[in-house]
């Protein structure tokens, strides 16, 4: 298989940005290393853009917008279908890229990271095909019109998935976009740009500028010709974008941090609820904003919960991401690895009971950003490990005495992105779910639904992604009174 780095080097797209349907040389002069976390070796270097690069991309998008907004639903559906097919045909290359740039296990990249990214393209296409852009309300027309030029800022933990979750609905709505992927995992974005070019989207509709937050993110957020910014990242980054965007009064949607609860009710099937809860918390090595890393369990069942959780954590196979026997690869970058190690030590110092795992690398690993799947029990809700987003394979088991106390613990956080509830009696399960302040709640580990809107309460952000609600974020709503002659 051709290495993604070799592929991008051969066509020289590694050193260029995609602006106005052309691969162009950056105007900035700084570069950043892209590091393979499994080997702690530099894969390549990428150029970082500046305000001039941003201006060129935004100008291209603004120039393309009048024509693109007039394209028909069928034209956009056809282009999205073509992109979907091209991504499916490139699954191996994309998965290999994700494995190299952010440490995802190859099997996980091929079965989750890439297919779920493709699902966002498919979902946007399906929603668009059935979307009614003008609705009648009496004699008034309610018109949904594309908001304009959208700056899309995506993170390193689900690089391709987060790109398609923003790009696909924005284009479906008739908007033009400038994408700024994370400079820590930027290569999959370059491969995606190649597929956009191959799919045949018109010039200026999709643009890509690599860069960091201060150099490109801030310039996009404050640019007067950008109508909307959508960011997925830390709460700190989301606040910075909102502040930069405030002077031009542009729309800002944010999908930010989380500290999601998993409430295990007394009647739950404990073996299933706990083992799948560990898997959900450790998914993508815990580097998911909605990972249910607070398992809230009946105090009377704590010994049994601890035994099941420890067994499930020990079954995780941490190893070389390119080894197909590996279930969990490397932590995506050094800063995150160090953060995880620090927080594990904080948990020990706070007096939480370490059930499995702990600080440092797993046995047998002298290099590579490998972390030990870690489970703490007897965690108090006020502990730092119960309140702060660790963003790693660290699960906190928190005991409760009554269901109302469990709900209070679930809501005792500044975040409100995701939540889980497990139990046999569905009326109780639904009742608990209704009292949790989070944007998406999963009951008894259902199948993932790409049409289910996703977003946060509180400091987890605002706005929604996925499905119809994700498409609606990219519209302005216009009321035209007297449009219809009769109700």
- The residues that are catalytic are 255, 289
Q: What are phi and psi of 22, to 5 degrees?
A: -135, 145
Q: What are phi and psi of 325, to 5 degrees?
A: -80, -15
Residues 6+ apart with CB under 8 A from 471: 124, 127, 128, 131, 169, 172, 173
Cα distance between the two ends of the chain = 62
Contact status, residue 276 vs residue 408, Cβ threshold 8 Å = no
**Of 369, 397, 215, the residue nearest 294 (C-alpha):** 397
Q: Report the distance separating Cα 395 and Cα 288, nearest Å.
A: 13
């Amino acid at each position: 298989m051709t290495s993604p780095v070799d592929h991008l080097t051969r066509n020289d797209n590694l050193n260029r940005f995609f602006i106005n349907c052309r691969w162009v040389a950056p105007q900035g002069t700084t570069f950043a290393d892209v590091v393979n976390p499994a080997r702690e070796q530099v894969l390549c270097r990428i150029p970082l853009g500046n305000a001039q690069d941003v201006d060129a991309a935004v100008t291209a998008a603004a120039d393309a917008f009048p024509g693109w907004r007039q394209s028909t639903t069928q034209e956009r559906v056809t282009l999205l279908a073509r992109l979907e097919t091209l991504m499916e045909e490139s699954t191996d290359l994309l998965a290999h890229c994700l494995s190299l740039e952010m440490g995802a296990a190859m099997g996980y990249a091929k079965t989750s990271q890439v297919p779920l990214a493709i699902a966002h393209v498919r979902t946007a296409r399906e929603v668009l095909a059935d979307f009614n852009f003008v609705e009648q309300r009496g004699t008034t027309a309610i018109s949904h019109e594309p908001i304009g030029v959208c700056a899309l800022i995506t993170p390193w933990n689900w690089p391709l998935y987060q790109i398609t979750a923003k790009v696909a609905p924005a284009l479906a709505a008739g908007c033009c976009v400038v994408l700024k992927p994370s400079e820590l995992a930027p290569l999959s974005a370059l491969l995606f740009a190649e597929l956009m070019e191959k799919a045949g989207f018109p010039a200026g509709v999709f643009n890509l500028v690599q860069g960091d937050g201060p150099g490109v993110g801030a310039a996009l957020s404050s640019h007067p010709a950008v109508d909307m910014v959508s960011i997925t990242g830390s709460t700190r980054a989301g606040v910075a974008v909102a502040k930069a965007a405030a002077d031009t009064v542009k729309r800002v949607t944010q999908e930010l941090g989380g500290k999601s609860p998993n409430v295990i009710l007394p009647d739950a099937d404990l073996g299933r609820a706990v083992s799948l809860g560990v898997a959900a918390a450790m998914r993508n090595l815990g580097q998911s904003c909605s990972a249910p890393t607070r398992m809230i369990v009946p105090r009377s069942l704590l010994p049994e919960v601890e035994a099941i959780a420890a067994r499930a954590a020990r079954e995780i196979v941490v190893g070389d991401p390119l080894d197909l026997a590996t279930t969990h690869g490397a932590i995506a970058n050094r800063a995150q690895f160090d953060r995880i190690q620090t927080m594990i030590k904080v948990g020990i110092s706070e007096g939480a009971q370490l059930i499995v795992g702990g600080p440092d690398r797993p046995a047998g690993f002298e290099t590579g950003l490998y972390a030990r799947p870690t489970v703490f029990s007897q965690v108090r809700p006020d502990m730092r490990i119960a309140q702060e987003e660790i963003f790693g394979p660290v699960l906190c088991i928190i005991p409760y005495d009554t269901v109302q106390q469990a709900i209070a613990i679930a809501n005792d956080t500044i975040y409100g992105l995701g939540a889980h509830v497990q139990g046999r009696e569905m009326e109780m399960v639904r009742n608990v779910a209704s009292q949790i302040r989070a944007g998406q709640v999963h009951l008894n580990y259902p199948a993932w639904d790409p049409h289910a809107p996703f977003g946060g309460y509180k400091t987890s952000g605002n706005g929604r992604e996925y499905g119809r609600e994700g498409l609606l974020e990219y519209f302005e709503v216009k009321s035209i009174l007297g449009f219809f002659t009769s109700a």
